[in-house]
């Protein structure tokens, strides 16, 4: 039994949520915070941290207890992500991509698939993610070219994916493929298939400006053979719909990351503004700095409320792409804003790796382009507003 599952979780209980968050915060203080700079500067995968998260049960955070998961609400989950991201954002990505894959399997997988995979996903015995993006295809997923051709009771997969989280250190990916390249519209020919590493795919780690430590890879599938039973769902052609449903939770996660990073940037800036002196007094007493802190704090609080609203909508079981899109848009732009303002408040010290500010400054841009660019979020929001009104 993992550590968090020892807490009897009642989704309506603030006390049990507090106990869960306290457990996570103790883990962050002891097992993450002391090692961030070492792993981040060397771009080294934090295996011991990932293993500890498995012990805590975070790889099964949103999986139903029926399959060994914690069954946490999106509201509690988003608060966990915020707290993790305030310490080191990269760590949240390890279990987020994994849980999007899990959500697709739990929502749409066959009974046999769920019974076999979900307990292993929840325990962290099998860890993975989702493989959507391709070298020539990012936001426009209908243009993917990775193919899965049926061969009796198997699929033969060929193609390339890129910017895939957990592709190097993980052991399985939910891969978006074309099972029918002739059907129109293109999304009707797209399917989601679980591909395990034992099936022979090759992954290469990519270098990045920020978001270091976590493995982000380029994956090549060269005549990879998988069982037809690895198709998520009963029939082909449902892949895009399945993955878009999971991305609602993914966007709430990214919004929560933005909240966590924004909070860290503000907290560090307040602490610095109290101790750094210019013209004979702490810089926090200068109006120019106070104005910056006020706007950073206001945007942070608005981001947190939008993220909570999106999580509540997701927990209701109703479509939540509008709320998730708004939260993702605003919270990630806030992360970019707060990290930039923190850099200005810290001046030259913010540019030094001796402070965490330069890491926030490098990590924040990922949030506005990951899980769908913010330009795409605006289109999703506008379309939904026009439908609802």
Pull the structure tokens for residue 330.
Answer: 């605003």
Residue 70 region, left (φ>0) first, then alpha (ψ -120 to 50), else beta?
alpha
Q: How far is CA 328 from CA 299, 312, 342, in A?
A: 13, 14, 21
Q: Which residue out of 134, 196, 371, 375 is catalytically annotated?
A: 371
Residue 158 — φ and ψ, nearest 5°? Answer: -135, 140
Three-state secondary structure call for residue 278: strand
Nearest to 320 by CA among 246, 261, 270, 373: 246
DSSP per-residue codes, 83-133: HHHHHHHHHHHHHHHHHHHHHHHHHHS-HHHHHHHHHHHHHTSS-EEEE--
Pull the structure tokens for residue 54.
Answer: 């498995």
Distance separating alpha carbons of residues 301 and 294, to the nearest angstrom? 11
- H or E, element range at 16: helix 14-27
Residues pairing with 282 in the sheet: 277
Q: How far is CA 110 from CA 100, 118, 152, 328, 377, in A?
A: 17, 11, 19, 31, 31
Answer yes or no: 371 catalytic. yes
> What does the buried/exposed string (b/e) look like for 43-77 if buried means 16 or more CB atoms within 10 Å of the residue's CB?
eebbeebbebbbebbbbbbbbeeebbbbbbbbbbb
Contact 191, 237 (CB under 8 A): yes
Q: Which residues are catalytic?
A: 371
């Amino acid at each position: 039994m993992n550590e968090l599952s020892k807490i009897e979780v009642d989704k309506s209980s603030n006390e049990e949520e507090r106990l869960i968050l306290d457990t996570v915060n103790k883990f962050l203080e002891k097992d993450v915070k002391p090692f961030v700079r070492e792993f981040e500067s060397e771009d080294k995968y934090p295996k011991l941290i990932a293993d500890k998260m498995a012990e805590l049960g975070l790889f099964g955070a949103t999986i139903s207890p029926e399959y060994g998961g914690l069954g946490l609400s999106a509201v509690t989950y988003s608060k966990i992500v915020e707290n993790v991201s305030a310490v080191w954002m990269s760590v949240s990505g390890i279990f987020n991509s994994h849980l999007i894959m899990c959500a697709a399997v739990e929502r749409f997988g066959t009974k046999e698939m769920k019974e076999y995979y979900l307990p292993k996903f929840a325990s962290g015995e099998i860890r993975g993610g989702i493989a959507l993006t391709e070298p020539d295809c990012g936001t426009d997923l209908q243009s993917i070219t990775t193919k899965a051709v049926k061969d009796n009771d198997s699929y033969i997969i060929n193609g390339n994916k890129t910017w895939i989280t957990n592709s190097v250190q993980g052991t399985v990916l939910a891969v978006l493929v074309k099972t029918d390249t002739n059907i129109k519209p293109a999304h009707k020919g797209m399917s989601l298939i679980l591909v395990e590493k034992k099936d022979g795919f090759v992954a290469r780690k990519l270098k990045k400006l920020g978001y270091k430590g976590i493995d982000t890879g380029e994956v090549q599938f060269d005549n990879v053979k998988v069982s037809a039973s690895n198709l998520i769902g009963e029939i082909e052609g449902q892949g895009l719909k399945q993955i878009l449903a999971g991305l609602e939770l993914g966007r709430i996660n990214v919004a929560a990351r933005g909240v966590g990073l924004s909070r860290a940037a503000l907290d560090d800036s307040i602490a610095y503004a109290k101790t750094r002196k210019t013209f004979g007094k702490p810089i926090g007493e200068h109006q120019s700095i106070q104005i910056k802190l006020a706007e950073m704090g206001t945007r942070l609080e608005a981001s947190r409320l939008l993220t909570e609203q999106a999580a509540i909508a997701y927990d209701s079981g109703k479509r939540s792409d509008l709320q998730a899109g708004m939260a993702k848009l605003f919270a990630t732009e806030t992360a970019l804003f707060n990290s930039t303002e923190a850099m200005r408040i810290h001046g030259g010290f913010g540019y030094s790796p001796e402070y965490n500010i330069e890491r926030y400054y490098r990590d924040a841009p990922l949030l506005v382009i990951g899980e769908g660019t913010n330009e795409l979020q605006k289109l999703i929001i506008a379309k939904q507003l026009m439908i609802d009104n």
